[in-house]
Amino acid sequence: MDACAIVPLPQTVDPASVFPSTGGRPPLVRVVRSLDGSVAGNRVVVATVATLAAGVRDCLRSAGLDTVAVIVAHGRGLRQQVIAAGLDHLDVEWSSSTPVLVGDHRYPLSTRLVAGRVVAALRDGHDVVVPTLPVTDTVKTVDETGSVLGTLDRSELRTVQYPRGFAASALWDLVSGSAAPAAEDVNEFTAALRAGFDIGTVDGDVDAQQVELPRDAHLLDAIIACRAD
């Protein structure tokens, strides 16, 4: 089956981090567009809660993305519930190896190129695939008083970005099956690590760092301006 993509917006999401335009486009629009190059036109969905649904539809419509489905999850609107609602709408079978991308509005500068790498690695047989970057800062260990104890070897350290990719069967298990976390604040990637899934990596994008909007709007504007140059 063709790859598909879900952008989850659970009940904990602040609308100010999703809808306001930054650098000419809302973060949600940027993320959706970064996914549609690796996914067929009708295979991208935004899965959310009733309180955000109208704003999501208006945001997508204003960007000409009317074909992107907006799915409203039942229940409390936890992250696992909105992702499961997205999978259900896409009619992704529990036993399927279909590649599923999970986007994140906090990574509005994720690119189509990175999304394509994730899908390709999933087709190679990994359960989970994440984009990563080498850690370039010096990392120290400290004691309980804040005194430096030593320096970590950063050669094996990586930061993890979005979109993250999952074989459909793995993602179903992580949000609704035996590997689903009991704690509400554990996301599907952390759960995959704990459950021992096969996790592959691809090269990320140095510009596609996590931002917390509206606090980081100036940082995002600066990165976008540099890219335009």
Q: Which domain holds residue 197?
A: 4-228
CA gyration radius, the chain: 18
Helices 168-176/79-89 angle, 10° precision? 140
- The total of structural domains in the chain comes to 1
Report d(CA 96, CA 196) in Å as an integer: 19
Identify the CATH number of the domain in which residue 143 sits: 3.90.550.10
> Would you give the distance in Å from CA 86 to the centre of its chain?
13
pTM: 0.93
Q: What is the pLDDT along the chain (229 residues), one digit of tens a residue?
A: 689 999 999 999 999 999 999 888 999 999 999 998 888 767 999 999 999 999 999 999 999 998 899 999 988 999 999 999 999 999 999 999 999 999 999 999 999 999 999 999 999 999 999 999 999 988 999 999 989 999 988 888 999 999 999 999 999 999 998 888 877 778 999 999 999 999 999 999 999 989 999 999 998 989 988 876 4
**Peptide bond before 214: cis, by omega within 30 degrees of 0?**
yes
Residue type, 53: A
